[in-house]
Chains A and B, each alone.
Chain A
Amino acid sequence: NAGVTQTPKFRVLKTGQSMTLLCAQDMNHEYMYWYRQDPGMGLRLIHYSVGEGTTAKGEVPDGYNVSRLKKQNFLLGLESAAPSQTSVYFCASRGLEIADTQYFGPGTRLTVL
């Protein structure tokens, strides 16, 4: 049982390049989330999904797109990377019950030059 995994662990991009971050969970969770973590800002919600085929915007969605084609996977895309998107990105998942614990992946450190 791997829990929540993220690929890649590290990535360096040049401004304007695109990339996709992959999150996978093996706990059959309905809800999945993408957060970014920046010093002094805590975790800010980018996008989330409440089930396969659904996505919704969080606090800071601009510049990102997401897809949830399979229940176990949640993809975060950057179409044209900007230096302001340099951050550590965390994926999380949880079950349907409102009190269910969220489980986090190990993070992806992205640098945009």
Chain B
Amino acid sequence: AQSVAQPEDQVNVAEGNPLTVKCTYSVSGNPYLFWYVQYPNRGLQFLLKYITGDNLVKGSYGFEAEFNKSQTSFHLKKPSALVSDSALYFCAVRDGDTGGFKTIFGAGTRLFVKA
């Protein structure tokens, strides 16, 4: 069965500093990995995804994520955090070898960027 772990409930970072939000996954086949962001009282918005190829994926709003197959991780990063990045971030996975019908999400990590 596929699963996603986001080990940190909350990440605190000062504005201008780099940020990392961690994600590890478990699938039986090839992983398709996603990051979404949720602002208060809103639905989830897509940030970026890893399908295949380059392990560093670039997405919206200056975010990027690094896929590491040996560590089964897909950490979200940004070189310089903004106060407006404060939100709830979700990592998600699909298992390519079981058809990829289901997308399973992690519990979410709340990012707080302090001015």
Point out residues on A near B: beta carbons under 8 Å. 4, 31, 33, 35, 40-45, 48, 50, 56, 58-59, 90, 92, 94, 98-99, 101-107
Contact = CB atoms under 8 A, between A and B. Distances in A.
Contacts, number: 58
B46 A45 contact: no
B101 interface: yes
Residue from A41, A90, A104 whose CB has the most chain B CB atoms within 10 Å: A104
Interface residues on B, range: 20 to 34
B12 interface: no
Among all A-B residue pairs, the 7 with the closest Cβ atoms: A98-B100, A42-B107, A104-B43, A43-B105, A104-B44, A99-B51, A101-B46
B105 A35 contact: yes
A42 B43 contact: no
Given A43-B90, A90-B44, A98-B96, A31 B51 contact: no
Contacts of A101: 34, 46, 49
A106 B90 CA distance: 16
